[in-house]
Amino acid sequence: MTTKKALTIAGSDSGGGAGIQADIKTFQELDVFGMSALTAVTAQNTLGVQAVFPMNADAVKQQIDSIGKDMGTEAVKTGMLFNAEIIQVVSEKIKQYKWKNVVVDPVMIAKGGASLLEREATSALKQYLLPVALVVTPNIPEAEVLTGVSIQTITDKEKAAMILYELGAKYVVLKGGHDEDPEKSVDLLYDGTEFNYFQSQRLQTKNTHGTGCTFSAAITAELAKGSNVYQAVAKAKEFIQVAIQEELVVGNGHGPTNHWAYNRLRSQDLHGENR
């Protein structure tokens, strides 16, 4: 059997819950070989981001070349890219290596408010990265910044998704995690023609650090294995739901999600341990 591989181009979270660390853990749990190109190093824990050290764009370029020239990859995910120069390099390399399964998580701001993308880099993200994206996975605040639409209603969500599609992403997954609804979270998937809704029960917890990274990494892993976007999003939704539900006790602030949960629950089901 050939090994399926996925590359994450993102920032490091020293606390292990988000960024590169969340991506690699998710790839591993979903049986995909994980590789990385670091764009920044954050000093971070569950209490917040203490410092951000961006990589030089040439270092990002060379990491991607190292992978592109030897190993190749079945799918790519981008996370924290920090500045316009890094965005341009990443977009050029994706085109050069003709990578098609590209998931763009347009990371902008960490939970505590720390900036993970320079304000003036938003237009570079729209101009260079969305045109090479198969899937873009904004949360509501990110979609608002990218589209200028203030999102309150379902119609607003659909309008924002259409704008993101027009900017070049072939599929738009607008995540409902920041919705006001106390009962449920509804994600919208738009493919240029139809609006599909994925609904899940909203879980009450403060341990949601890295949720967005984990969700988009799971989509990437599923694409690497040959799933289509609908299957990949549905599986990623299951993966993140149990990762939030099966809480870990790590740190004193917003703890990480549980990357083991999906497989642990599945193995319990298989072995009848929870009957």
State which of positions 112-131 bind ligand PXL (CB under 6 A): 116
Count CA within 13 A, CB hemisphere, residue 208.
13
8-state DSSP, 117: B
Radius of gyration of the chain (CA): 17
| Nearest distance, CB of residue 60 and ligand PXL, angstroms | 14
211 included as an active-site residue = yes
Judged by DSSP in three states, 230 sits in: helix
Q: Which of 223, 232, 160, 168 is nearest to 195 (CA)?
A: 160
The reply on whether position 255 binds ligand PXL by CB under 6 A is no
Strands (E) located in the chain: 5-13, 33-45, 48-54, 75-78, 102-104, 135-136, 171-174, 184-190, 195-201
Of the candidate residues 79, 138, 176, 256, the single one contacting ligand PXL (CB under 6 A): 79
175 included as an active-site residue = yes
Residues near ligand PXL (CB under 6 A), total: 15
213 included as an active-site residue = yes
Catalytic-labelled residue, pool 15, 17, 210, 255: 210
The reply on whether position 103 binds ligand PXL by CB under 6 A is no
Catalytic-labelled residue, pool 211, 214, 220, 257: 211
Of the candidate residues 6, 7, 11, 147, the single one contacting ligand PXL (CB under 6 A): 11
Q: Which is nearer to ligand PXL, 4 or 64 (CB)?
A: 64
Give the Cα separation of 34 and 217 in Å (integer). 10
Q: Which is nearer to ligand PXL, 132 or 213 (CB)?
A: 213
| Nearest distance, CB of residue 137 and ligand PXL, angstroms | 11
Give the helix/strand (H/E) hosting 122.
helix 122-124
List contacts with ligand PXL (CB under 6 A): 10-11, 13, 18-19, 42, 44, 79-80, 107, 110, 116, 210, 212-213
